[in-house]
Structure 1
Amino acid sequence: MTWLSIHDPDDAVRATLVLAHGAGGNRDQAMLRLLGDELAQRGVRTVRIDLPFRRQRPKGPPSPSGQAADRASFAETARLLEIDGPVLWGGHSYGGRMASMAVAEGPGPDEQGPDGLVLLSYPLHPPGRPEKARTAHLPDITIPTVLVHGKRDPFAAPEELAEAAGLITGPITIVEVAAAHDLAPAKSGAPAKAADAIIALLDQLNA
């Protein structure tokens, strides 16, 4: 399949993360690749996916009319790969937003929802438009959630993100890094810090 890439650990798989990209990228975004490498060293498989809108065209933003398909792609990937054991959904920016909305909607009748959620640079609002906050669905998220956020992200100041994260009813962990929206993964340490927080989330599930 040309729309997904898998990072497999050398030893036993502790959990699987289905991870999607932002509105302007694809599954080969640096943060996604480096996080997959970090998690593989910790026993977590990462499946990086191109969302349906990106499979249809190599460039350009997503369309509102395609959001339902983008949200459904997380459960479809898990079903296609017959993933066993704990599963996490997540993504960078738009990909994380779609994952969070899919979690809030709940699984379909023949689907199993994820055990945790990973939001990288959650796009709380368009830059300079705090009145356009994308928070309506957050109270319906009841599973453990890791949010990795840049201190200089124009899509949400740290205090804005913390306030919005408080709407999530499941346990939350916020990881701040010295970066903007792209998380500067080669410089900020974001991949390793995110991986550590994800392992802590999995430890919570097993406690």
Structure 2
Amino acid sequence: MNNIIIDGEDNPITFIFAHGAGAGMDHEFMQSVAKGLAFKGIRVIRFNFPYMVKRAEDGKRRPPDRAPKLLEAYQEVIEQVDADKLVIGGKSMGGRMASHLSEVDKVAAMACLGFPFHPPGKPEKYKGEHLAELAKPCLILQGERDTFGKREEFADFDLSDSIRVEFIPDGDHSFKPRKSSGHTEQQNITVTVEKLSAFIKEVLNEK
């Protein structure tokens, strides 16, 4: 499998971790979470969507591919992975794409880190309609101050009972807190890894 990074290659359970719109699979946030999960006994598979592969080749910034192409690329990765059941997810856009692949047989659950419910300042452009019908378990980890969906907005979001939401203290879209909050970015990454690893092991019946 080209264009893939695997952390914890020999670990028994698998999480596919897709990147967000603006940065690829080797971004610091992606690395930190992947390595943290690998330490917890989870095999983490990262990949770049096609537009990000092209950026890596020539250095030119491109907008993301259209959703059908992103979903096709994600599904190809799922099909290549040697696991009967796995958890899929991603950062922002990557998590949103994963949430549209819940019907794939191999997929036991989904995990979304910073779900982009709407563009910042445009709550009327809501992108979470399908979440009301989600049947498989899904974890959403959301920064309390995320401008793509703040904590106080969640009362207005129609989410399936299969979705579990956990908030990252004072986090923005990348889970970074303000210095004045008393929290640190590293603490929030640690919290993210703890909550995410526990969820993955729970849905895959691993302790």
Runs of 4+ in 1 over 6 A off after TM superposition: none
- Per-residue CA shift, 1:64-114, capped at 9, x if unaligned? xx31121133331122132x25311111111111111222xx22xxxx241
- Would you say the 8 A contact 1:128–1:154 is kept in 2? yes
Q: Which amino acid aligns with 1:73?
A: A
Aligned 1:65-80 pairs, distance under 5 A: 66-80=66-80
Question: In the alignment, what sits opposite 2:63?
Answer: 61
Q: Tell me the CA shift for residue 188 of structure 1.
A: 4.5
The separation in 2 between residues aligned to 1:122 and 1:50, in whole angstroms, is: 18
Question: In the alignment, what sits opposite 1:96?
Answer: 95
Aligned 1:33-182 pairs, distance under 5 A: 33-58=31-56, 59-63=61-65, 66-82=66-82, 84-103=83-102, 106-107=103-104, 112-161=105-154, 163-164=156-157, 167-182=159-174
CA distance change for structure 1 residues 43 and 9 in 2, over 3 Å: closer, same or farther? farther
Structure 1 spans left out of the alignment, 5+ residues: none
Q: Tell me the CA shift for residue 180 of structure 1.
A: 1.3
The separation in 1 between residues aligned to 2:78 and 2:34, in whole angstroms, is: 16
Question: In the alignment, what sits opposite 2:176?
Answer: 184
The separation in 1 between residues aligned to 2:155 and 2:204, in whole angstroms, is: 23
Q: Which amino acid aligns with 2:79?
A: R
The separation in 1 between residues aligned to 2:161 and 2:100, in whole angstroms, is: 14
What number of residue pairs does the alignment pair up?
195
The separation in 2 between residues aligned to 1:167 and 1:173, in whole angstroms, is: 10
The separation in 2 between residues aligned to 1:180 and 1:143, in whole angstroms, is: 27
Structure 2 spans left out of the alignment, 5+ residues: 178-183
The separation in 2 between residues aligned to 1:61 and 1:190, in whole angstroms, is: 28
The separation in 1 between residues aligned to 2:142 and 2:159, in whole angstroms, is: 17
**RMSD between superposed Cα atoms in Å:** 2.3
SS in 2 for 1:149: strand
2:197 to 188, 199, 205: 199
- Would you say the 8 A contact 1:91–1:120 is kept in 2? yes
CA distance change for structure 1 residues 16 and 162 in 2, over 3 Å: closer, same or farther? farther
- Per-residue CA shift, 1:108-141, capped at 9, x if unaligned? xxxx241111111111111111111112111232
Q: Which moved more, 1:196-205 or 1:41-50?
A: 196-205
The separation in 2 between residues aligned to 1:176 and 1:168, in whole angstroms, is: 20
Q: Which amino acid aligns with 1:44?
A: I
The separation in 2 between residues aligned to 1:96 and 1:23, in whole angstroms, is: 10
Q: Which amino acid aligns with 2:52?
A: R
SS in 2 for 1:26: coil
The separation in 1 between residues aligned to 2:155 and 2:41, in whole angstroms, is: 29
SS in 2 for 1:132: coil
2:23 is equivalent to residue 19 of structure 1:
no
